[in-house]
Amino acid sequence: MIIERLREYVAAETPTGDAAALNAFADRLADRYGELGGTVRREPSPTGDHLVADFPGRGPRAADAPLLFLAHHDTVWPIGQLENAMPWREADGIIHGPGVFDMKGGLVILETALERVADRDHRPVRVVVVADEEIGSPSARALVTAASAGVYAAFGLEPPHPNGDLKTSRWGSTRVRIEVTGREAHAALDPASGISAIDELVDQLIAVRQLIAGYDNVLCNVGTITGGGRTNVVPGSAAADIGFRFVDPETERAVLDAVAGLTAVRSGAELEVRVMSNRPAWQPSGATDALLAEVAAAGRSVGQDVGGAAASGAADTNLTGWLGVPTLDGLGPVGKGAHAVHEQVIAATLAERVDLVAAIIRSL
């Protein structure tokens, strides 16, 4: 049943920004959470609705602070990826397909665990499913912040470490766009009256590289570059999106302030630097260590050894961890290939993770 549900979810392709596809999938999740006893509300967003589902507690802990589970239903893959390049495939205990690992496997694990504990005593459970996580959750930050107020702990359904360990901290992640406005001119007849936005952008990206070289433990990836149109026209506009990763908030602030302070090299060129999304660094804490100990005990109750380690990737748990909520991530299935054409999960770990998540809900 778990694998069948996962195949159904993977078949519904949900690229970030495709509101129609994401909302159709949100309909499916909302119906499912309603069947499981949750009260579901939608948070509209132009690029796809987010979901919040609250499940009541049972027994002596019915009035206790809830557990928060964070998930997302967008993927990095475009419509058609399943048919053209990454068909669903099961072989030798491995399942392949777009989104199986990041993170429709996690969604299936959570709903199956909720079904498992439906008649057991447990705390209330709150689920937030975000529609734009893959680009930093720019429209969901306020929602995640509000949903985390007063919870006992937060858990992410993102993929775990390769050995199955949970994630106990994450680097900060910020997307920055540098936009340059120059002046168009004929590239042969009147080049001197033009201002090349592309040349200006190249110089700015070199300046960013030089800036980053002065810091340890900062990652910088120029993910997209756009600009110009014809080789016989001096380009009047250009832009680049840059992804930064930071280990600590002090370095993050220093780098972002320096990038925001960039100025144009060429007279007449205009420069705009904008933060597109931001996830602050979630640093190790005693609260997370204590939560990991509780989860390890829950794991032992179902015959599993649970460990934890820091992670360099970012997710919505960055925000809850940064806010001081005891947080762990990585409750999705074990696999590999996130954002790669060989994306896959180990089929047996789906049921194992269901056992663990159900034990967490029952015991914490």
Which residue range is the domain that position 261 belongs to?
172-279
Is residue 16 located within the same domain as residue 137?
Answer: yes
The span from the CA of 310 to the CA of 312, in Å, is 7
Total domains in the fold of the chain: 2
Q: Based on the fold, state whether residues 195 and 271 are members of the same structural domain.
A: yes
Residues 168-182 have pLDDT tens digits of 999 999 999 999 999
Final residue belonging to a domain, choices 217, 247, 279: 279
Of 279, 313, 328, which one is at a domain's C-terminal end? 279
State yes or no: is 252 an active-site residue: no
Cβ contact 72:16 at 8 Å: no
Instruction: Characterize 320-336 residue by residue with b for buried, 16 or more Cβ atoms within 10 angstroms of its Cβ, and e for exposed.
Output: bbbeebbbbbbbbbbbe
Confidence band of 240 (pLDDT split at 50, 70, 90): very high
Residue-wise pLDDT tens digits, 189-222: 999 999 999 999 999 999 999 999 999 889 999 9
**Given the residues 49, 133, 158, 179, the one annotated as active site:** 133
Asked if the model's pLDDT at residue 251 lies above 90, the reply is yes
Q: What is the pLDDT of residue 134?
A: 95
Q: What's the CATH number where 300 sits?
A: 3.40.630.10
133 is catalytic: yes
pLDDT at 126: 98
d(CA 230, CA 227): 10
Do residues 153 and 325 touch, judged by C-beta distance below 8 A? Answer: yes
Query: Residues 219-239: what's their mean pLDDT?
Result: 96
Residues 332-346, mean pLDDT to the nearest whole number: 97
**Residue 118: what pLDDT?**
94
Domain boundary among 255, 279, 303: 279
**pLDDT (mean) for 73-91:** 96
Is the pLDDT score of 1 beyond 90? no
Looking at the fold, whether 137 and 244 belong to one and the same domain comes out as no
pLDDT at 92 over 90: yes
How much is the mean pLDDT over the chain?
97
- Point out the catalytic residue in the list 18, 49, 74, 184: 74
* Percent of the chain's residues with pLDDT above 70: 100
